[in-house]
Amino acid sequence: MGNFDVMLVFDHWDRYMAGFINTIQISIIALIGSFILGAIIAIFRIAPLKPLNWFGTAYVEVIRNIPLLIVVFFFYLGLPSLGIELDGFVSGTLGLTVYTASFIAEAIRAGIQAIPTGQTEAARATGLSYLQTMTHIILPQAIKIVLPAIGNQFINLVKNSSILAVVAGMDLMYYADLINSDTFLPLTVYTFVALFYLVLTVPLSYAVLYMEKCFNIADN
């Protein structure tokens, strides 16, 4: 095929790698950030304090029902209009973090609420404090439900990080565009981009499947 040039990936290896590594970096930073933020929102949603519940619910409902691109644009276009300048990399990663946190918050809440309340009551009755009940009884069980869900969110993060290309965020898709403008071989350029993404997402998918299987066996 005249349109396909396998050697292209070696000629432009440096730029592929720069984008690939940035994509991994963005995904990991956003995963850590959205886990912390998501945990806080989840606590807000189950805490025995109405205003916190409302805030947590509003956060999750609003963010989950709008596109990731809007969240990213708030950081990339919205903040500069208020005098706060952020580059594409930072605003894209922040957008991913804020967006993914709403999904992780829901996963954590679902995990905690899946544990029957009778267990909390029993633990409290035997003299454990609220915090001890959480750390020794509830969380170790909830983690089985939460962990695979977070794994799935990580896969989504890797895929969603491609949105940084829209805001010149130096990710894999952004570098692919640069390579494509130099070579005019989109079929080759983007086939390799697809392979780079699959190298990340396929093993992660299998890891999540494996996790789900392990936890299911442990339950039976």
Partner 1 sequence: MDFIGAYSIPNLIFILKGFLITLEVAFISILLSFVLGTLLGTLRYTRIPVVARLTAIGVDIIRNLPLLLIIFFMKIVLPQIGISMSPFWSTVVGLTLFEGAMISEIVRSGLNSIDKGQIEASRSSGLSYIQTFRHIILPQGLRRMSPPMVSQFISLLKDTSLAIIISLPEIMHNVQILGGQSFNYVIPALILASALYFIVNYTLSIIARRLESKIH
Residues of this chain that interact with partner 1 (CB under 8 A) are 3, 61-62, 64-70, 73-74, 77-78, 80-82, 155, 158-163, 165-166, 173, 180, 186-187, 190, 193-194, 197-198, 201-202, 205
Pick 144 or 159: Cβ nearer partner 1: 159
Chain-centre distance for alpha carbon 182 = 32
- Smallest separation (angstroms) from partner 1 to the CB of 86: 13
Q: How far is the CB of 165 from partner 1 (least distance, A)?
A: 7
Contact 124, 130 (CB under 8 A): yes
Phi, psi (deg, nearest 5) at residue 114: -75, -20
Shortest CB 55 distance to partner 1, Å? 17
Which tokens hold the place of 216? Answer: 């299911």
* Cβ distance to partner 1 smaller for residue 55 or 190: 190
Q: Supply the DSSP string of the chain, one letter for each residue.
A: -TT--TTHHHHTHHHHHHHHHHHHHHHHHHHHHHHHHHHHHHHHHHSS-HHHHHHHHHHHHHHHTS-HHHHHHIIIIIGGGGT----HHHHHHHHHHHHHHHHHHHHHHHHHHTS-HHHHHHHHHTT--HHHIIIIIIHHHHHHHHHHHHHHHHHHHHHHGGGGGGGT--SHHHHHHHHHHHH--HHHHHHHHHHHHHHHHHHHHHHHHHHHHHHHHHH-
Q: Least distance in Å: CB of 157 to partner 1?
A: 11
Nearer to partner 1, 68 or 123 (CB): 68
Of 7 and 131, CB closest to partner 1: 7
141 versus 201: smaller Cβ distance to partner 1: 201
Distance CA 153, CA 103 (A): 8
Q: How far is the CB of 139 from partner 1 (least distance, A)?
A: 26
Residue 61 Cβ, how far from partner 1 at the closest point, in Å?
7
Question: Closer CB to partner 1, residue 41 or residue 165?
Answer: 165
